[in-house]
Structure 1
Amino acid sequence: MADLNLQGAQVLLPDGLRQGDLSLAGGLIADAPTGRAVPLNGYLVLPGIVDVHGDGFERHLAPRRGAMKQMSEGLVAVEAELAANGITTAVLAQFVSWEGGLRGLEFGSQVFDAIRDTAPTLVTDLRAQLRFETHLLDLYENLPQRAADWAVDYVVFNDHLPHKRLAEGRKPPRMVGQALKAGRNPEDHFALMQQLHAGRDAVPEALDALCRKLEERRVRMGSHDDSSADQRARWHRRGVHVAEFPETQEAAEAAQSAGDAVVLGAPNVVRGGSHNGNVSAVDLIAMGLCDALASDYHYPSPRRAALMLSQSGVLDLTQSWRLVSEGPAAVLGLQDRGTLAPGKRADLVILDAMSHRVAATLVAGRFSYLAGDIAERFFPA
C-alpha cells in the first residue's frame, strides 16, 4: 500500500466537513502530510461504510438453485458489489432456520465455512453473523461450538414462526411456495412448523442457558424485530445488547434506555418507510433512537440513506454519516475505524461531489474499488 496525500477534497473529519488534505501512511490515517500528492478537488472523502447487517450477498452465492458450486467465487462477487457501494467492513447475515433451503443448517454451514476461509484473501473486511431461529431447540447444545468452528462471533436471534395462525391450525400464506423452494413436501413443512410451535414453552429457559454460554465465549448477540419494551427487556437480561430493526418506537426506546444499540434499516430510510408497516426509521432517527443504519437487503442504501438524511435536514452530514460509519463500528466493537482521525485505519470512500456516486473505496489504504476519471488522479499517465 502506498503512502498518499489526498489534496483539495472536502474531507469529513470528526468535527465536520472541511476543504483540505488527508494523508494515508502504512494503511492508517496520518497526522501530517506524507507520500505522493493526489489532487482530489471535486470529490468528497468520507469514512468507509461499516455495514452491521446485510443479506444482499445471497444472490451471489446462490443465484439459482444449484448454480453456485464455488462459494469463494460468489464471495469475490459480493466484495465487488460492497466496494462499489463504499462499504469497507461488511457483516454477512446468514440464517440457520427451520425454513430450510438457503436458510437451512447445511447451506448455512457452507456459507460460514466459505466466509471464514475466503475473507482473509479479500480487501474488504468480511465478517459473518449467524441469524438463528429460536425454536430450533435440537441445535442449542452444539450451537456455541459450531459458531466457534465457523469463526462466527455475532449471533442474532429471530422467530419467524407465524404463531397466531399455527395456534389456529391454519396454514400461513405462501407456505406451499416456501416449502417447494426449500425442497420440502408442503405437508411435511407445515408439520415441522406445528411441531416447533408446540415446543414454544421450552424456548425461553433454553434461550437463557444458550445466551449464557455464548456470552462466556464473548459472542456479540442481537435480537431481531422487537415489538415491545417487555420483549426487549427480556433480551437485555440475557446479555443481548443489540436491537436490530425494532418494529415499534416503544421497543427502540426500551433498548436505548437500557444502554443497548439500536440498528435500523437503511432501505427503510430510502423508501420513506418500512415495507411491512413497521415504525418509520426516519422518525426514530429524528428522535435520536438510532445508533447505526444497516444495508439489510440492499447495499447501495447506507450511502443513499445518509445523504438523504443530510439533504432533507433531518441531520447534518456529520451526524448522518456517523450512522453508517462510526456508529456501526461501535456496535461491532471496532474502535480502529469509523472516523478519519489520525491513527485510525485508512478505510474511506471517495464520492463525486456533484453526483455523489462512489468513485473509489479504500480499505486499510488498499483499493477495493476505483473507477472512472478519478483513476487518472491516482495514476496519471
Structure 2
Amino acid sequence: MTIELTLDGAQVLRPSGWDAGPLAISGGQIVDNSVGRRVDLSGYLVLPGIVDAHGDGFERHMAPRRGALREASHGVVACAAELAANGITTGVLAQFFSWEGGMRGPDFAEHVFASVIDVAPSLPVDLRLQLRLETHLLDDYARAEAAIKRFGITYVVFNDHLPHDRLSEGRMPPRLTGQALKGGRNPEDHFRMLLDLEARTAEVPEATTTLAERLAASGVRLGSHDDHDAGVRQVWRSRGALVSEFPETLSAAAEAHGAGEPVVLGAPNLVRGASHKGNVSALELVQAGCIDALASDYHYPSPARAAWRLVELGVCDAATAWSLVSAGPARVLGLTDRGQLESGQRADIVVMDPETHRVVATLAAGQVAYLSGNVAARFLA
C-alpha cells in the first residue's frame, strides 16, 4: 500500500542542489502540493533512491553454502531487504550464465530467475534481472535466449572470463582446482573443458554478433563487461552492445564516453581507492568525466559510500556525486521515471543521518522499504 505524506524540515537533494522545501508523496509519486500527514524530518537529509545498475552480491542470499539451492525465494526477500537498508530502490541482479558452473552455471541462473520473477512483485524494491552470458558458452546460446524470453529479461551483458593466454599454450590456469570444485567438477575434467572452449574461439565473433542482433531486435539492452581497451569497445559497439560495464582501462572508458555510450564502474573500486583486480581507478575515470554510473558490484553499501567519498575528496558537489548512483544509472537502464526528486517521478527516497551518512529510511515507489532507529518514531507518530 502506498502512502500520502509530506516530508518537512529536511535538506532535500534536488537536481540543482540542496533545498529546504517540503517533499510530497502521493500515489507512489512525487507531487507538487503538500498532501496527507506531515512528517518532520528536521536534522535529516533526503535524497533520491539509489538505482543499482549491476550487482551480484545476492549470490550469498540465494545459496549461502555450496549446493544450498532450495527455497531461493526467501533469499530474494532477504536481498531486497539489504538493498533497501543501503538506500537502493532499484536493483539489477546480475546473474552469470557461464561455463564456470555452480552458482554461475545455467541451472543456477534459471533457478534465480524463476525465484526473482515469483517474489519481486510483492516487494517494494524494484528488482530487475541481467543475464551475464559467457561468450564461449556456445552450445548454450539457445538456452540463454530461451531464458531471456521466458523470464522477460531486458538487459544482457557479454563476458569472456577464459584465461586465453594460458589455454592457448595448453597450460593449466592458476586457481583452476578451486574453480573446478566450485563448479562441482573434477579439476582434470574442468581443464579439458576449458581447452575445448578455447579451441572454439574462432566461432565466437559470428555467434555473438548473430545472437546480439536477435536480442537487440527484440528490445533487449546489450552491454559488454571488462572492455580491455578502445579496440575491444569498438568491437562490441559493432555488435550492438552499447553499455560498457567495468572497462579495465582509461582508453576503453574514453572510447565509450566519446561515442555517447554509457559507462558503468564499480562503487567498491572508488571506495577502496583502486580496483581489486588492478584495473583503472574509478576515481580517475570520474575525474576524467568518463563515468555515467557507479554500481554496487559485489557490495551493496558501496554506492552510497562512493558518492559521499567523492564529496569528501572535493571531486564534485553532492548533487553531481549522487547523480552517479541515481539519475545516471537510471538513464543507463532507460528508466525515465526515477533518479531525481521531481514532480511526477517515482517516490524513491532515501533518508540519511547527515553526520554518519547512514541510511535510516527508504521509500520505494511510496512504500516503506526500510525504517530504522529514531526516525521511525517520526514516520509512525
TM-score by length of 1: 0.98
Which 10-residue stretch deviates more, 136-145 or 64-73? 136-145
Partner of 2:153: 152
Partner of 1:378: 379
How far did residue 32 of structure 1 move?
1.4
How far did residue 342 of structure 1 move?
0.3
Paired with 1:115 and 1:218, the residues of 2 have a C-alpha distance of 21
Paired with 1:345 and 1:177, the residues of 2 have a C-alpha distance of 44
Q: Is the 8 A contact 1:28 1:342 kept in 2?
A: yes
How far did residue 86 of structure 1 move?
0.3
Q: Which amino acid aligns with 1:357?
A: R
Partner of 1:310: 311
Residues 168-207 of structure 1 mapped to structure 2, 5 A cutoff: 168-207=169-208
Residues 250-289 of structure 1 mapped to structure 2, 5 A cutoff: 250-289=251-290
SS at match of 1:211: helix
Paired with 2:66 and 2:175, the residues of 1 have a C-alpha distance of 19
Paired with 2:376 and 2:248, the residues of 1 have a C-alpha distance of 43
Partner of 1:348: 349
Partner of 1:98: 99
SS at match of 2:20: strand
Paired with 1:351 and 1:151, the residues of 2 have a C-alpha distance of 34
Q: Is the 8 A contact 2:246 2:264 kept in 1?
A: yes
Paired with 1:10 and 1:214, the residues of 2 have a C-alpha distance of 43
Partner of 2:225: 224
How far did residue 180 of structure 1 move?
1.2
Paired with 1:201 and 1:84, the residues of 2 have a C-alpha distance of 46
Paired with 1:144 and 1:257, the residues of 2 have a C-alpha distance of 31
Q: Is the 8 A contact 2:62 2:76 kept in 1?
A: yes
Paired with 2:233 and 2:38, the residues of 1 have a C-alpha distance of 51
Paired with 2:290 and 2:121, the residues of 1 have a C-alpha distance of 35
How far did residue 68 of structure 1 move?
4.3
Paired with 2:276 and 2:142, the residues of 1 have a C-alpha distance of 36
How far did residue 142 of structure 1 move?
4.2
Paired with 1:311 and 1:239, the residues of 2 have a C-alpha distance of 38
* Structure 1 position 292 matched with structure 2 position 293: yes
Q: Which amino acid aligns with 1:169?
A: G
Q: Is the 8 A contact 1:211 1:238 kept in 2?
A: yes
SS at match of 2:70: coil
Partner of 1:22: 23
Partner of 1:114: 115
> Across the two proteins, how many residue pairs are aligned to each other?
380
TM-superposition CA deviations, 1:57-87 (whole Å, max 9, x none): 0001100123341011010110111010000
TM-superposition CA deviations, 1:329-371 (whole Å, max 9, x none): 0001100000000000000100011211100000011000001
SS at match of 2:22: strand
Q: Which amino acid aligns with 1:92?
A: L
Q: Is the 8 A contact 2:57 2:300 kept in 1?
A: yes
Partner of 1:130: 131
Which 10-residue stretch deviates more, 68-77 or 360-369? 68-77
Question: Which stretches of structure 1, 4 residues or more, deviate above 6 A after TM superposition?
Answer: none
Q: Which amino acid aligns with 1:218?
A: G
Paired with 1:171 and 1:66, the residues of 2 have a C-alpha distance of 26
Q: Is the 8 A contact 1:236 1:258 kept in 2?
A: no
Q: Is the 8 A contact 2:100 2:183 kept in 1?
A: yes
SS at match of 1:169: coil
Structural RMSD (CA): 0.9
How far did residue 311 of structure 1 move?
1.5
Paired with 1:68 and 1:157, the residues of 2 have a C-alpha distance of 25
Paired with 1:42 and 1:176, the residues of 2 have a C-alpha distance of 54
Paired with 2:206 and 2:69, the residues of 1 have a C-alpha distance of 39
TM-score by length of 2: 0.98
Paired with 1:143 and 1:214, the residues of 2 have a C-alpha distance of 11
TM-superposition CA deviations, 1:197-223 (whole Å, max 9, x none): 000011001111010000011000110
SS at match of 2:306: helix
Paired with 2:237 and 2:43, the residues of 1 have a C-alpha distance of 46
Q: Which amino acid aligns with 1:360?
A: A
How far did residue 141 of structure 1 move?
3.3
Paired with 2:303 and 2:177, the residues of 1 have a C-alpha distance of 34
How far did residue 312 of structure 1 move?
1.1
SS at match of 2:285: helix
Partner of 1:7: 8
How far did residue 15 of structure 1 move?
1.1
Q: Where does structure 2 lack aligned partners over 5 or more consecutive residues?
A: none
Paired with 1:327 and 1:264, the residues of 2 have a C-alpha distance of 12
TM-superposition CA deviations, 1:271-323 (whole Å, max 9, x none): 00111111100010011000000000000000000011012111110000000
Partner of 1:320: 321
